[in-house]
Chain A
Amino acid sequence: MFEKLMNIDRRIIFIFVALVVIIPMLFPFSLPLNVSEPTQKLYDYIDALPAGSTIMISFDYGPSSFPETEPMAAAVMKHCFDKGIKVIGVAVAYIDAVPLADRVMQQVAAEKEAVYGEDYVLLGYRPGEEYVILGMGAEIASVYDSDFSATSITEIPMMQNITNYDQISLLLNLAAGSSVEGWITYGHTKFNLKIAAGVTGVIVSQMYPYLQTGQLVGLLSGFRGAGEYEKLIKAPGDGTKGINTASLVHLLIIGLVVIGNIAFFVQRQREE
């Protein structure tokens, strides 16, 4: 039996994974979710900001990672619009982040009746990552003279009183790559800009040292982070739905790893 397990066709495992993903979607359920400290810190920081403050969200992910990061963007923006906090969207790492950012910003704005140019703005993408971050520290208009739809920044009402990072209360970097390090290195270290991150599961382990040192004020970790934030703002969305299904898949994978290891050791013992 163990020999069969060791040589099982990988496509059978794919079928199991597919079933564990599909069945919960057809029959939704809810699992308890505890809010972790990094998520709570970000929520508390934004919650303590006065109405009229401005946060900047850097959308640094592409289509291959938006399922994890987009629910975070939606949850944080809902919280901001509820509190009267203005949101500036930029993209410094991925060109293809702009249409994704536009989509999620429009969806949340429609739900919260936020007005483009007054409550939120999407400046879009500029090439040069670290130079963009450094340039905005001196003057945002030197990098972004217009928004993503080519409207001059001087014609956007909410940008009238915003010159550089001095008027930005928080930079939230939603990232699938190394842009968080760039924002910390150039935004936080050089300009003392407060930084928080919402990152994919793949890179979250690299973020904890920055959280421990206080270089990040908060951290959202993949689907889980999005689900936790949705719980804090009492607005379940894609993050909550996703983490329930993901928990079942994780259980399946843990089970498969345990079975695989047992089969491996038993077979090795028999060979000896």
Chain B
Amino acid sequence: METLGIWIAAILTLCIYSFLYRDNPFYRFAEHLLVGMSVGYIIVITIYFGFIPYAWTPIKNAVTDETARLGFLTLIPICMGCLFFARLSSRRAWLIRYPIAILMGISSGIMIPNALQTDIFAQVRGTIDPYSRIGVLSAFEITGAILMVIGVVCTLTYFFFSVEHRGPVNWLSKVGIAFLMIGFGSAFGNTVMGRVALLIQRVDFLINDWIGSIF
């Protein structure tokens, strides 16, 4: 059975990589198979780990067990969730605003205070914190701290559109572009590393697991 699995995986891998030559029916078959299986798997898992424990079981228990009558409260979010399907009717489509409003309200309430703390306050503190212990930093660390402040100020200047980008503002924003380019270059290099990793793993599988199982 394991050998069969290896053969299926190897053939599908080759089907996918055949796209590197040109688009072809083998590639499309493997692509459609992947999409179909992924959607099917996600639906089953969502039913088992989402619908059954959070919707079906509480109501079933409320019906069968007198001590679990509070489970009927689950009907409120279920009904609210069902309003998402109102979008399918042009006359009742406005009803979708209620679940969206609730979701937006809850998400904003949970997210905004924590996100401000995580991505604004902590980052600002991290940018200026090295200056509070400048006496104990090495020359390399001091250079890094200075570069970081220059990078933050110049990059923010580039995205500051309330002032015309002329004179010193223009120079600052140009330096900001340079920092952005370095950032994008780093991200691109790391992306290449990630894609190469995928290729290496697949080639390793084909050579060691598949061809290795034949000979």
Chain B residues lying within 8 Å of A32, measured Cβ to Cβ, are none
> Does A25 lie at the interface of the complex (its beta carbon under 8 Å from any beta carbon of B)?
yes
Q: Is B114 interfacial (CB-CB < 8 Å)?
A: yes
**Could you tell me how many residues of chain A have their Cβ less than 8 Å away from some Cβ of chain B?**
53
Which of B115, B192, B194, B199 lies in contact with A185, CB distance below 8 A?
B115
A25 engages B207 (CB within 8 Å): yes
Minimum-distance CB pairs A-B, first 4: A67-B201, A213-B126, A201-B194, A201-B190
Asked if A233 CB lies within 8 Å of chain B CBs, one says no
Check if B114 sits within 8 Å of A186, measured CB to CB. Answer: yes
A binding-site residues for B, Cβ under 8 Å: 11, 14, 17-18, 21-22, 25-26, 64-68, 95-96, 124-127, 130, 134, 145, 181, 184-186, 188-190, 200-206, 209, 212-215, 221-224, 238, 241-242, 245-246, 249-250, 253
Q: Cβ of B160 < 8 Å from any Cβ of A? A: no
Q: Which chain A positions have C-beta within 8 A of B191?
A: 201-202
The interface residues of chain B lying within 8 Å CB-to-CB of A25 are: 203-204, 207-208
Which A residues are in CB contact (< 8 Å) with B42? 95-96
Tell me, yes or no, whether B123 is within 8 Å of chain A by CB. yes
Q: Report A-chain residues with C-beta under 8 Å of the C-beta of B115.
A: 185
Contacts of A215 in B (CB 8 A): 118, 122
B residues adjacent to A (C-beta < 8 A) = 20-21, 38, 41-42, 45-46, 49-50, 53, 110-111, 114-115, 117-119, 122-123, 125-126, 129, 148, 183, 186-187, 189-194, 196-204, 207-208
Check B192 against A253 for contact (C-beta < 8 Å): yes
| A213–B122 CB distance below 8 A | yes
Contact yes or no, A209 B126, CB < 8 A: yes
Most chain A beta carbons < 10 A, residue from B119, B190, B191, B200: B200
Q: 19 pairs across A/B with beta carbons < 8 Å? A: A17-B199, A66-B201, A68-B197, A96-B38, A181-B119, A184-B118, A190-B114, A201-B192, A202-B187, A204-B190, A205-B190, A209-B123, A212-B148, A214-B126, A223-B200, A245-B200, A246-B200, A249-B196, A253-B192
Are A250 and B193 in contact, with the CB atoms below 8 A? yes
